[in-house]
Structure 1
Amino acid sequence: MSPPPPPLALGTPTAHLFSLLFSLTYVGSLYISKHSRLSFSTTTTHSNKGERQNNDNDNQGEREKKQSERWRDDPDVIRARLLAVLCTTTVCCSVLLGVVWADLEFRWETLPTTLAQTRLLLGFCLPPPPTLSVNQLLPHLITPTLFLGPIFSGYLGGQLPFQRNWIWENHVTRRFCTWVGVRNYVVAPITEEIVFRACILSAYHLSGASKVKMIFLAPLSFGLAHVHHAWDTYNRYGRTRAAAKRAIITSLFQLTYTSLFGFHTSYLFLRTASILPPISAHIFCNVMGVPELGWELRRFRAYRGAIISAYVAGVLGFIYTLPQWTAQSAEGSLYWY
C-alpha cells in the first residue's frame, strides 16, 4: 500500500476555496435540475386568515400543499436530489484525486499510487471481517453513549426495538422503507460525510492545516450548507411574518446543531482516519433526532430524577469515551500526528 501524501503547498486560502467549492457544489446540485428544484405558489393561503391571526399564529402547522407545487418530501423531488448528490459526491472525490495526481505530475504510471493515496485520504478503508476487533468497533459506540438519556426515555415509553409499543410497520417499514427514509438515513448521511468531512478535511490536511483548524473551522461549511432550508420553511408555513420568524429561528438552530455535530464527526474522522465512524454517527443522530428533555420530563414525571441522571451520564460518558475509544485508531491515523 502506498504511503499517504504529505501536505502539499496548497496554502490555507486555497483549502478555504476547496471547502467553499465542495459546499456550493453539493448544495447547488439540488437546484440545477427542474426535477430537483422546489416550487411554491406565489399566492399561498393558510387556514387562519387575517394579518392579526398570522401575527399571533407563531405555532401554526404547515399549510396545505397545492397540487402544482413541489416540496422537498415529494418522492420525485427526493429521487432527483438523491441522484444529484450522488453525482456531486463523485465529482468532489474526483477533484481531490486530481489534486493528489497533480502533485505526481499527472503521469499514468503514478495513477495506481494516486488512487491508493486518495482512498486513504478519504478514509475509504474497511478491514476484512476476520481482522475486525473491538477497538475498531468502539468509535461507532461513542455517539450512542451521548444519547443515553433519550434512549432511557424511549425504554420508559416502550419504544425500543421489540418492546410493547414497538411496531415493525410503524418503526421500521414506514420510517426507513420510503424515499424520505432512504434520503434521511442512507444517502444523505453517506454523501454529506464524504463531501463535508472526507473531501474538505483532506483538502485542509494537504494544505498543512492544524488539527484544531480542521476540527473547528472545516465543519462551519457543513452548518452553513443547511441554511438554504429556510426558504423551504418560509413557504411551507404560509409566507407570513410568523413563517419568516420560524424559518430564521429554525435555520439558526440548524446552523448551531449541525456545526456542533460537525466538530464531533471531524474529530472522529481525524482520530480514526476512516469515514465509517462519522457516517454511523450521522445515521444514528438522524434516527434519534434532537433530544426533547422537557417533553420527556413532563411525560414521565415519576422518573424525572432517573431521566436527568441518564442525560448527565450520557454527557459524562461521551466526554470520557470520545478520546479513549479512539485512542488506538489515532496511533495509526495519517491525520492525528
Structure 2
Amino acid sequence: MLEPEHGPMMQVEHTHTRCWVCVLSCLLLACLYVGSLYVWRSSLPRDHPSMIKRRCASVLLVSALSPAVVKAWMHWADVRVDASVWELMGVRLEGLVPAAVLPLLLTMVHQGVSTQIQLYRKDVFYLGPMVHSAIDNPQGFTGELQSALDFIFTDVQSWRLCVRDAVWLRNQVVAPVTEELVFRGAMLPMLVPCTGPTAAIFTAPLFFGVGMQFLYTTVFGAFTAFIFMRTGHVVGPVLCHSFCNSQGLPDISSALQHPQQSALLFSYLMGVLLFLVLLFPLTDTFFYGAIPVCSLVAPPASAC
C-alpha cells in the first residue's frame, strides 16, 4: 500500500506531486520510445532491413531503461511497496503459465484462426471469418486446423525463414515486447496511484496513441492494459500483441459479399459474444495470485 501521509493538507499536496511526477515520467518514456523511431534520418523506406535494425536497437534500448524510470519515479514520488520493480512491471513467475495461455486463448476466440497461413502473413479473420475460410476450404475445418498445426509444429523451414526476416522479427517479437514493457509494464504502475486502476487502463494507451494510429492503438492498448491489470503479468499482453500483429484487421467486407453471408455474420457475432462472456472468467485473479501492481492503490481495486 502507499505510505500514509501526515495530515490532510500534506496528503493533497503529496498526491498532486505524485501525479505530476507520474505524468512527466510517462511522457518521458513515450517521447523516448516514439522519438527513437524517428531519430534515424535516412532516405531508406521503413521496411528496409537496415532501417528496421536501427529502430529495433533504439526501442530495445528505451525498453532496457524503462525499469530505471520506474525506479526513479518510486523515489521521487516516495512510493514504497513490498514488490520489486520487475514484479510491478509484470515480470514474475507466479501464475506465469496461465498468464501466457489464457489471455492468448481469449484473443484467439475473438480473432479466430486464419486459414491461408503464409510465410510472413496470415489472412485476417475474426471467429466468424474462420468459418468463412473453412467454408471456402475443400477440406473444411479439418483442413484449416491441419494447416495451422503443420505450420506451427512441423514447418521448420518456414520458421527458419521467419526468424531471419527483419520485418517478421520487428512485428512479431521486438514491437510486442518493447511496446508492452514500456507502455503497459512501466506506465501502468506509475499511473495507478494517481488515477486508480480503471482510469489507468484507458489513460496509458493515450501516451502511445497520440503519436501513432490513434484509434486502433488506443483501443488495443486499453485491452492489453486490462489484461496486465487483471493478471499482473506482461507476458499475456506481449503474446496477444504478437498474435494480433500476425492477424491484422478483420476483412468484414469480404464476408458481406460472400454467398453465405448470414452464416458468416452470425459467426462474427458469436465471436464477439464469446469474447465478452469469457473476458472476466479467463482473467480472474484466481489463476494469477496476488497482483503486485494492485498494491499501489487502496482497496477496493475493482479492476485488479
State the TM-score bracket (shorter-chain normalisation).
0.7 to 0.9
Within 5 A, what are the aligned runs for 1:96-245? 96-100=70-74, 117-127=84-94, 137-147=101-111, 148-158=127-137, 160=144, 162-163=146-147, 177-205=164-192, 207-226=193-212
Instruction: Give the aligned partner of residue 252 of structure 2.
Output: 293
Which structure has the greater CA radius of gyration? 1
Corresponding position: 1:334 with 2:292: yes
What is the CA distance between 1:163 and its match in structure 2? 3.2
- The one-letter code of the counterpart of 1:208 is C
Task: Name the CA shift for 1:11/1:322 in 2 (closer, same or farther; >3 Å).
Answer: same
Q: Tell me, in whole angstroms, the C-alpha distance in 1 between the residues paired with 2:253 and 2:158.
A: 23
Task: Name the CA shift for 1:303/1:173 in 2 (closer, same or farther; >3 Å).
Answer: farther
User: RMSD of the alignment, in Å?
Assistant: 3.2
- Provide Cα deviations, 1:109-148, integer angstroms capped at 9, x if missing partner: x9xx99x510111000134xxx776587322211111111
- Provide Cα deviations, 1:48-90, integer angstroms capped at 9, x if missing partner: xxxxxxxxxxxxxxxxxxxxxx110000010111111110111
Within 5 A, what are the aligned runs for 1:272-311? 272-298=231-257, 301-311=258-268
Aligned length, in residue pairs: 260
- Provide Cα deviations, 1:250-285, integer angstroms capped at 9, x if missing partner: xxxx31111100111111100111001111110111
Structure 1, unpaired ranges of 5+ = 40-69, 227-253
Task: Name the CA shift for 1:313/1:199 in 2 (closer, same or farther; >3 Å).
Answer: same
Contact 2:49 2:167 in 1 (8 A): yes
- Provide Cα deviations, 1:222-249, integer angstroms capped at 9, x if missing partner: 21231xxxxxxxxxxxxxxxxxxxxxxx
Contact 1:135 1:325 in 2 (8 A): no
What is the CA distance between 1:295 and its match in structure 2? 1.9
Contact 1:271 1:335 in 2 (8 A): no
> Identity, % of aligned pairs?
30
Within 5 A, what are the aligned runs for 1:28-107? 28-32=35-39, 36-39=40-43, 70-100=44-74
Q: Tell me, in whole angstroms, the C-alpha distance in 2 between the residues paired with 1:187 and 1:5.
A: 34
Task: Name the CA shift for 1:132/1:73 in 2 (closer, same or farther; >3 Å).
Answer: closer
Contact 1:219 1:263 in 2 (8 A): yes
- The one-letter code of the counterpart of 2:169 is V
- Scaled by the length of structure 2, what TM-score is found? 0.74
Contact 2:102 2:283 in 1 (8 A): yes
Task: Name the CA shift for 1:133/1:181 in 2 (closer, same or farther; >3 Å).
Answer: closer
Structure 2, unpaired ranges of 5+ = 5-13, 112-126, 138-142, 295-300
What is the CA distance between 1:153 and its match in structure 2? 3.2
- The one-letter code of the counterpart of 2:235 is L
What is the CA distance between 1:329 and its match in structure 2? 4.4
Q: Tell me, in whole angstroms, the C-alpha distance in 1 between the residues paired with 2:45 and 2:99.
A: 43
Contact 2:22 2:73 in 1 (8 A): no
Task: Name the CA shift for 1:83/1:282 in 2 (closer, same or farther; >3 Å).
Answer: same
Q: Tell me, in whole angstroms, the C-alpha distance in 1 between the residues paired with 2:232 and 2:278.
A: 17
Q: Tell me, in whole angstroms, the C-alpha distance in 2 between the residues paired with 1:77 and 1:135.
A: 33
What is the CA distance between 1:96 and its match in structure 2? 1.0
Instruction: Give the aligned partner of residue 238 of structure 1.
Output: none
What is the CA distance between 1:17 and its match in structure 2? 1.4
Task: Name the CA shift for 1:38/1:217 in 2 (closer, same or farther; >3 Å).
Answer: same
